[in-house]
Amino acid sequence: MTTELGAFLRSRRERIAPADAGLPVTGRRRTPGLRREELALLAGISATWLTYLEQGRDVRPSGQVLDALARALRLTRTEHEHLRRLAGGVGPPEPGAAEEVAPEVAGVPALLGGNPAYVTGICYDVLAVNDAAAELFRGIAPGGNVVRWMLTEPAAREVLVDWEQEARSIVARLRAIAGRHPGHPRVARLVADLTAASPEVRAWWAQYDIQFSHAGRKRLRHPRLGAITVSHAAFHVAEHPEQTLVVYHLPGPTGS
């Protein structure tokens, strides 16, 4: 254990105001940020254990303890990995673990009103979606998957006027993701499920087409507006580049 770990924990503890962590502010505080006892409470660990970590004693925190500290300290993904490495070479979180989206990012689709929008994770898992997107893309919801919906749900062939073109495109983007993350369990599981369920995927996957997310236009069948052409754009989240905000602009008053 190194003193660098202790310095890093103290620096991050001192930058969080108690009020920001939902703690009551009582009296004058001699030091900025959270006290050790407060951080320990938020992380669900003992204050003694946290003291040992900050003092650089020869203790070995588990990955679960480090993850709890990262959540309590509101660490970015980069800071989280740095914390784990300082703690004795503990690697980054398991790639098969549930993917989390920051509340600030998850709230963005709702801000876009009548324009359909959603946030996806590393392999198009839906992390957040607004009402307009749920209406347009019937069956899309948090916990679902855009690729799985497009390739296995009958509703997708009704919504997407150019279904084959769009389906080929998203399979090519999934192929690019699989290349960037070889052996990633969620990506591998999705590919295996889709190739088993869809004859189109089995044929297209073997062609090894590659594509990346881009802006453009799509022809869709809206449940209220009928056949429409919409523009769309994809934006990667700065601290989590594998998370993507996708926004569609509907024509007319609904999308204004």
Q: Kindly state the average pLDDT of the residues 97-104.
A: 81
pLDDT > 90: percent of the chain: 46
Amino acid at 42: L
pLDDT of residue 1: 46
Pick 31 or 39 by higher pLDDT: 39
- Determine the longest span between alpha carbons in the chain, in angstroms: 68
> How many Cα neighbours within 13 Å face the side chain of 122?
21
Mean pLDDT along residues 176-200: 89
Predicted pLDDT at 95 = 56
pLDDT tens-digit map of 112-158: 999 999 999 999 999 999 999 999 999 899 999 999 999 999 999 99
- In this prediction, residue 92 has a pLDDT band, given cuts at 50, 70 and 90, of very low
On whether both 110 and 58 belong to a single domain, the answer is no
Residue 27 in tokens = 């009296």
Strand-pair category, 126-129 with 226-236: unpaired
What is the pLDDT, as a whole number, of residue 91?
Answer: 46
pLDDT at 14: 87
Q: How far apart are CA 158 and CA 162, in angstroms?
A: 9
| Mean pLDDT of the chain, nearest integer | 87
Whole-angstrom distance, CA of residue 34 vs CA of residue 14 = 6
Q: Are residues 82 and 20 in the same domain?
A: yes
Residue 30 confidence (pLDDT) above 80: no
CB 88, CB 1: distance < 8 Å: yes
Predicted confidence (pLDDT) at residue 253 exceeds the cutoff of 80: no
Read off the CATH number of the domain in which 14 is found: 1.10.260.40
What is the total count of domains within the chain? 2
CB 232 within 8 A of CB 246: yes
Position 2 pLDDT exceeds 60: no
Helix, strand or coil, per DSSP, at residue 41:
helix
Rg of the chain on CA atoms, in Å: 22
**Does 80 share its domain with 175?**
no
pLDDT value at 27 more than 50: yes
Taking the C-alpha atoms of residue 119 and residue 166, their distance in angstroms, rounded to an integer, is: 18
pLDDT of 49 above 90: no
Q: What's the CA gap between 220 and 136, in Å, rounded?
A: 9
Six token digits for residue 114? 């009548």
Q: Same structural domain for residues 119 and 58?
A: no
Residues 79 and 110 in one domain: no
pLDDT beyond 70 at 166:
yes
DSSP state of 20: G
Phi, psi of 234 (to 5 degrees): -120, 135
Contact 86, 228 (CB under 8 A): no
Q: What is the mean pLDDT of residues 84-88?
A: 76
Q: Which domain holds residue 163?
A: 103-255
CATH of the domain at 223: 3.30.450.180
Picking from 41-50, 144-153, 227-236, which range would have the lowest pLDDT averaged per residue? 41-50
pLDDT reading at 105 higher than 70: yes
